[in-house]
A = this chain, B = another copy of it.
């Protein structure tokens, strides 16, 4: 009994304190959500970034405008310090609108097609060849040089619709887009077309980055819509001699100067240490870069803005970071981490939003078991807002390079069901974003940033 009483005496004040903190945190987080939902600015920022600035591929005029706009916004919001960080980025341009067609005997059926980012052009008159369809690299290799040489290889493995997280389905299919061209070229193919990375059946072709393997000949690569892929596959079954035509005039230009955009809220007792919320400012060139990743950018600015508006005085210096060049190089993320290292700017935690502006369901965490456990202990503060999955999943591409410096990495995990309907495609536009879903994500990030700052994760 004595021991029990002693334990109770020791624990009781701690519990009272924990309960007081819980109540206080709970009230403050409610204020964060109220501000985002009733007086939020993320939606109007997104409207500007997507509809006025528009697409913003690295090296483009749009990207430069996006740098200027987000800098201006954070200055207008009177962040303590707003500045640019120089980044050299790849500069790929699409050129004229592409053409694609199935040639079934004398029939020519035009199909929606876009060059993959990083691809070379076709010859000026376009490229026409017989098509060989495969579902995997293994199937391709088993066909061998004899059957592949001189042909256009058509990668047609769909994203698996039974995966509950669409990112898992994407992960199971995207090698076709990233490495398909070089795998095909190694066996003598002269062109590569890839089924778009979406579970939808529609007429919207999706782009995205591809890389040429060193040593493999560079051949042109394009994405076709899923309906076109279905049609081509069906046509090939009926007529194995079916040819495909495509024409694209994309170019790889010399690397170009660009910027990360950084806005700070100065910390108090740990002001020389940092916490980051970020998204990537660049986007593909064929839509408006709404869900990928305009939403992450405006949510990051909004998260810091809300804490400022609510009068929160952070311990750490909090940064909203718009990373440049996630889509085709990650130079922004790499440069940011390199700079932090060389300037000895210790980064304690970083949060990224790059999975679309959909209803938030949780946060992924990359950190030590103790850090994960600490962050997961805040679960009950997030559950009232529908975030039941704290600790499921990882961080984000742009913040990844901070990992080796000991930074805890967190990724906002929104509902993924619609993300690949729009990802890297012409329909990734402002109208696809729900104001409330966007705002709930921004509030979730602000709440997580608040807890990280208040309790640290050291």
Residues of B within 8 A of A418 (CB): 434, 436-437
Does B164 lie within 8 Å of A385, measured CB to CB? yes
Which B residues are CB-close (under 8 A) to A37?
161-162
Bound-state Cα–Cα, A259 to B437, Å: 38
Of chain B, the residue at the smallest CB distance from A160 is B38
- The contact string, 1 if C-beta is below 8 Å from chain B, for chain A 345-388, is 00000000000000101000000000000000000000011101
Residues of B within 8 A of A200 (CB): 435
Residues of B within 8 A of A435 (CB): 199-200
Point out which of A33, A161, A384, A385 has the most chain B C-beta atoms below 10 A from its C-beta. Answer: A161
Distance of A273 from chain B, by nearest CB (Å): 33
Give chain B nearest CB distance to A433 CB in angstroms.
11
Q: Which of B361, B385, B434 contacts A421 (CB 8 A)?
A: B434
Q: Smallest Cβ distance from A310 to chain B, in angstroms?
A: 14
Q: Is A34 an interface residue (CB 8 A)?
A: yes
Whether the pair A386, B359 counts as a contact (CB closer than 8 A) is no
How far is B162's CA from A33's CA once the two chains are assembled, in angstroms? 7
Q: Note all chain B residues with C-beta closer than 8 A to A161.
A: 37-38, 436
| Cα–Cα distance between A386 and B392 once the two chains are bound (Å) | 12
* A203 at the binding interface (Cβ < 8 Å): no
- Of the candidates B199, B359, B417, which one forms a contact with A417 in the assembled complex, judged by CB atoms under 8 Å apart? B359
Give the docked Cα–Cα distance between A132 and B340 (Å): 60
Identical chains in the assembly: 2
Give 1 or 0 for each of A402-420: 1 = CB within 8 Å of chain B CB: 0000000000000101100
Annotate A182-202 by CB proximity to B: 1 below 8 A, 0 otherwise: 000000000000000001100
The CA-CA distance from A418 to B436 in the complex, in Å, is 8
List A32-68 residues whose CB lies under 8 Å from chain B.
33-34, 37-38
- Any chain B CB within 8 A of the CB of A440? yes
CA distance A421 to B386 in the complex (A): 20
Interface residues of A in 416-458 (CB under 8 A from B): 417-418, 421, 434-437, 440
A161–B438 alpha-carbon span in the complex (Å): 13
- Shortest distance between the CB of A359 and any CB in chain B (Å): 5
Minimum CB–CB distance from A192 to chain B (whole Å) comes to 27
Q: Please name all residues of chain B whose beta carbon is closer than 8 Å to the beta carbon of A33 when the two chains form the complex.
A: 162, 164
Chain A, residues 15-39, CB within 8 Å of chain B (1/0): the string is: 0000000000000000001100110
Instruction: Name the residue on B nearest A200 (C-beta).
Output: B435
Minimal beta-carbon separation of A2 from chain B (angstroms): 26
Q: How far is the CB of A71 from chain B (nearest CB, A)?
A: 28
CA distance A441 to B146 in the complex (A): 48
A263 to chain B, nearest CB (A): 26
Which residue on chain B has the smallest CB distance to residue A166? B436
Q: Which residues of B contact A34 (CB under 8 A)?
A: 162
A384→B388 CA distance, assembly (Å): 11
Are A386 and B164 neighbours in the complex by a CB distance under 8 Å?
yes
CB distance from A362 to the nearest CB of B (A): 10
A200 to B434, CA, bound (A): 9
A162 and B417 form a contact (CB under 8 A): no
Cβ of A357 to closest chain B Cβ, rounded Å:
11
Measured CB to CB, the closest approach of chain B to A432, in angstroms, equals 11
Report the Cα distance A388→B379, complex, angstroms: 13
Residues of B within 8 A of A199 (CB): 435-436
Contact A164 B384 (CB under 8 A): yes
Report chain B residues within 8 Å CB of A436. 161, 166, 199, 417-418
Residues of B within 8 A of A417 (CB): 359, 434, 436-437, 440
A contact residues vs B (CB 8 Å cutoff): 33-34, 37-38, 161-162, 164, 166, 199-200, 359, 361, 384-386, 388-389, 415, 417-418, 421, 434-437, 440
**Extra pairs beyond A33-B162, A418-B434, A421-B434 (18, CB < 8 Å):** A33-B164, A34-B162, A37-B162, A38-B161, A161-B436, A164-B385, A164-B386, A166-B436, A199-B435, A199-B436, A200-B435, A361-B386, A386-B415, A388-B389, A417-B436, A417-B437, A418-B436, A418-B437
* Contact sample, A vs B, 19 pairs, CB 8 Å cutoff: A33-B162, A33-B164, A37-B161, A38-B161, A38-B162, A161-B436, A199-B436, A200-B435, A359-B415, A359-B417, A361-B386, A386-B415, A388-B389, A417-B437, A417-B440, A418-B434, A418-B436, A418-B437, A421-B434
Q: What are the 8 closest A-B residue pairs judged by CB atoms, nearest first?
A: A388-B388, A417-B436, A34-B162, A37-B161, A37-B162, A417-B437, A38-B161, A418-B434
